[in-house]
Structure 1
Amino acid sequence: MSPLIGLTTYREQAAWGVWDQRADLLPAQYAEAVVACGGVPVLLPPQPAEGAAAVVARLDGLVVSGGADVDPGRYGATPHPRTAGWRADRDAWETALLDAAEAAGLPVLGVCRGMQLMAVRSGGTLDQHTPDLVGHDDHSPGGDAFGTVAVRTEPGSRLAGLVGEAVTVNCHHHQSVATHPGFRAVARAADGTLEAMEAEGDRFCVAVQWHPETAADVGLLAGLVAAAAPGSPE
């Protein structure tokens, strides 16, 4: 049977057809990539955190998707002037999903905001505006454009086994992970920005700052789907 992969979603004001109202949505590339890798995508909109364990019990894998900044209060920081639009409902829901996924041993992939939330959940912190550190906007050039960033992976890591020792990725992040207890740093950009981390141990628990769903080679999502497949040793 094809593994069931949960995809967390945005909840935003959106317009389509004759409608302009709050909607639960996610770029279709996520679901399309999961299907291309042999999985069945299921959308997981923000909801009360108490339901997370019941949801995870029905899933084979989880993707924590990109989106708005994480609330700085979750890691004890004052908001930077460029930090905005955090969503308390998503922060709480996705944190509960990660808690339940860890308890169940569920394979997890964090994408962009997902990586940042995973770091914060583990007791880590974020750099709230990466251009302040690196002196350029290559990681998020503005608007709906992705930045093209060259990344080198850590030899021997799970990530390197999935994407190789070097990869050019599509990024859209103005924040980045500063500290990440419980995770190993496994990829960096040339400017030193942490671009990926993974948990120690056998469980597939990988997070990247880039957007693998936008690439023709969706090796990361293929790795997640393989780890989530019935009968997988993970």
Structure 2
Amino acid sequence: MGREKPMIGLSLETPGPDQQGAGVSGGHYVPALTEAGGDVRLLPPASPSDAMALVSEIDGLCLSGGGDMNPSHYGEALSPLADGIDDARDERELALMRAARGRGIPIFGICRGCQVINVGYGGSLYQDLATEAPFPTRKHNHKADDPDRFHPVRLDASHHVSRAAGAAEVVVNTHHHQAVARLGEGLKVIAWADDGVVEAIAHVEEPVLGVQWHPERLDPPDRWAIELFISMCEAIRAR
């Protein structure tokens, strides 16, 4: 008998020397994905060559948050304001993306994961919003418990993301200092912050979704983006 729930492969930050943190436990991601209707498999920090084998066992790929991507992946020099570069993670997540695209399974990116998706499709990032964005921006790099960490986001009314949210505008949290700059090939922007920063992207043909906020840290009624991803996985499985 097949699985009743879609199996979600969760890619996490590389565990530190103390083997603590989300890189080992899955943090808030596992309960949020589980409550939305998925089963979760923590993907090990394997080499890129193992990506196809790992992806063959899952129904959807979730790329979690974490440190900055190395800008060499989009042809730029490293900014002194970049933080948390993990070259091994970059390589394995880009390989996982390629493998997931090859299988046609949904890909969901959260915060850094949204940025990985954009870069994976040939896009670029602002390495530091406050100093590189060509327009004034609000503070986006709030701490997880900062009471000012929320802001409104406008959704594309023509995209099913707005139907999933049940609104044209939602309030999200914000914990990032980088964001989408040049949009990757085949991607479209489906959500914007009130200052113009890209808050969500989707592929025009493939089952790919990325959000710049952390839905797993929101209350369950506001985790609609995770529920949308799970529904995408269920739809692909049913084909």
Q: Normalising to structure 1: TM-score of the pair?
A: 0.90
Q: Which moved more, 1:216-225 or 1:98-107?
A: 216-225
Once the two structures are TM-superposed, the CA of residue 110 in structure 1 deviates from its matched residue by 0.6
Poorly superposed stretches of 4+, deviation over 6 Å: none
Q: Distance in 1 between matches of 2:105 and 2:149?
A: 31
| Structure 2: unaligned runs, 5 residues or longer | none
> Which residue number corresponds to residue 184 of structure 1?
188
Q: Which moved more, 1:106-115 or 1:158-167?
A: 158-167
Paired residues for 1:100-111 under 5 Å: 100-111=99-110
Give the strand-richer structure, 1 or 2. 1
Q: Does 1:171 pair with 2:174? A: yes
Once the two structures are TM-superposed, the CA of residue 109 in structure 1 deviates from its matched residue by 0.7
Paired residues for 1:73-92 under 5 Å: 73-92=72-91
> CA contact under 8 A between 1:183 and 1:200: conserved in structure 2?
yes
> Which residue number corresponds to residue 63 of structure 1?
62
Q: Distance in 2 between matches of 1:78 and 1:131?
A: 18
Q: Normalising to structure 2: TM-score of the pair?
A: 0.88
> Which residue number corresponds to residue 159 of structure 2?
157
Matched to 1:9, the amino acid is L
Q: Distance in 1 between matches of 2:94 and 2:16?
A: 23
> CA contact under 8 A between 1:110 and 1:208: conserved in structure 2?
yes
> Which residue number corresponds to residue 31 of structure 2?
32
Q: Distance in 1 between matches of 2:225 and 2:202?
A: 12
> CA contact under 8 A between 1:9 and 1:26: conserved in structure 2?
no
Paired residues for 1:189-200 under 5 Å: 189-200=193-204
Once the two structures are TM-superposed, the CA of residue 141 in structure 1 deviates from its matched residue by 2.5
Q: Distance in 1 between matches of 2:233 and 2:48?
A: 23
- Give percent identity, aligned residues only: 33
> Residue deviations 1:12-50, cap 9 Å, x none?
326xxxxx3577335521100111111111111321111
Change (3 A) 1:73 1:213: same
> CA contact under 8 A between 1:3 and 1:230: conserved in structure 2?
no
Once the two structures are TM-superposed, the CA of residue 230 in structure 1 deviates from its matched residue by 6.8
> CA contact under 8 A between 2:26 and 2:42: conserved in structure 1?
no
| Structure 1: unaligned runs, 5 residues or longer | 15-19
Q: Distance in 2 between matches of 1:45 and 1:136?
A: 36
> Which residue number corresponds to residue 224 of structure 2?
219
> Which residue number corresponds to residue 17 of structure 1?
none
RMSD over aligned Cα, in angstroms? 2.1
> Residue deviations 1:40-69, cap 9 Å, x none?
111113211111111111101111100000
Residue 142 of structure 2: SS of its match in structure 1? coil
> Residue deviations 1:60-86, cap 9 Å, x none?
111110000000111111122210221
> CA contact under 8 A between 2:105 and 2:236: conserved in structure 1?
no
> CA contact under 8 A between 2:144 and 2:175: conserved in structure 1?
no
